[in-house]
Amino acid sequence: MTMVLIAAIAFVGSHFILSHPLRASIVGRTGEAAFLGLYSLVAFATLGWLAMAYRAAPETAMLWPVGDALWAVATLVMLLAAILLMGSFVGNPAMPDPTGRNTAPAEARGVYAITRHPMMWSFALWSISHILVYPMAAGIIVALAMLVLALAGAALQDRKKEALKPALWREWEARTSYWPFAAIVAGRARFGRFGAHTLAGGVLVWLVATWAHIPLAGWAAGIWRWVP
């Protein structure tokens, strides 16, 4: 279990160190392409280490009982996570824009009305749902590592974008929210207007990903727990 914790710290810590305090100096010396190669290498290496440590960790007792109620909550949370993930691939101003456009969308729609960090929150919701239904020590460590990486990474992305593109990002922040549904509650965004790729793609990913637990993990997840 100690090795799982060390690997999790290495995975999360290396992401933050390379992405923020060391990025400028490394890019200045090696160039952007070499930095991305180093970043990817470290990410895959530490993720592989974490995966191997997790597989080698002993099974421990569940920290709380897990019944159908918790499974139902986790299943719905994972559906929202899948929708956020699929919606994040289209119209995301946080993604590199090959056209060089320096303006934010005129209005936050779909998943961006929910949060300006839909991809990061999809990973965070994945973590939360897995903690709910698989509260074993090693699993909680891995899920918490992903949760910290996603939510702290989203907050740090805001600071980075504010420095790199202050006009664009301040404008986008005024229309959206870091926390899910906060902009809708505050009246800065309206719920709805999801694209077909978001809803249909999200449902498809949700169904396939939860079904994949059967051949990969040996137990059913999501709605497949209740499908004969």
The tens digit of pLDDT for each residue in 29-75 reads 888 888 889 989 999 999 999 999 999 999 899 999 999 999 999 99
Task: Tell whether the torsion through CA atoms of 180, 182, 185 and 189 is positive or negative.
Answer: negative
- Residue 102's pLDDT is 60
Q: What is the mean pLDDT of residues 181-205?
A: 95
What type of residue is 220?
A
Other Cβ atoms within 10 Å of 39 Cβ, number? 17
Q: Work out the average pLDDT over 81-107.
A: 79
Residue in the structure block whose two tokens are 């974008």: 161
> By C-alpha distance, which of 205, 198, 189 is closest to 90?
198
Greater model confidence, 180 or 102: 180
C-beta of residue 90 within 8 angstroms of C-beta of residue 118: no
pLDDT-derived band of residue 97, with 50, 70 and 90 as boundaries?
low
Q: Residue 202: which of 118, 117, 91, 95 has the closest Cα?
A: 118
